[in-house]
Amino acid sequence: MSPREPRAPRPRRQRGAQESLGAVVLGFESIIVFLGGLVVYGLKVLPFGIEPWWGIVGGVVLAVAMVAVSGSLRHRWALFAGWGLQVLLLLGGFLVPALAVVALIFGGMWAYATIKGAALDRANARRAADPDLSNGE
């Protein structure tokens, strides 16, 4: 192959439903978590002796962690890391009760994405293995 010949594009990796749905949930949740950090800063609800700007730092760190985990969902450990992030957000409800509501809503969406996404992936794998099953039975 000479330097002037263009390379053939690498085929895209197929993503399952669990990975796709989980990435969407964590991506949108990262925006809300960042805004939640701004709320913690604005309300100055951190314990005495901790500067309020740590609320912003915590929101940014948690949001970046969610984006990083959403990009790693092809690995099994990332699913557990996603659950851990949901628990961390729920613990933020001790500072601002609205964060607990956000954690419950997005935690439910995360549960749906991981459980239903895995079921869809199994069904798609069965259909791919036996193409005679036109309706999935």
Taking residue 2's Cβ as centre, other Cβ atoms within 10 Å add up to 4
Q: What is the pLDDT of residue 26?
A: 96
Which of 121, 117, 118, 82 lies closest to 103 in space, CA to CA? 82
| Helices 76-91, 97-129: crossing angle, 10 deg rounding | 160
Distances (CA, A) of 90 to 5, 75, 87, 113: 54, 24, 5, 18
Q: What is the pLDDT of residue 10?
A: 82
Q: What does the block give as tokens for 43?
A: 């309300």
| Cβ neighbours for 82, distance < 8 A, ≥ 6 positions apart | 22, 26, 66, 69, 73, 110, 114
The mean predicted confidence, pLDDT, of the chain is 90
pLDDT digits (tens, 9 = 90+) for 72-120: 999 999 999 999 999 999 999 998 999 999 999 999 999 999 999 999 9
| Cβ neighbours for 95, distance < 8 A, ≥ 6 positions apart | 40, 45, 46, 55
Put simply, whether the predicted model's pTM sits higher than 0.75 gets the answer yes
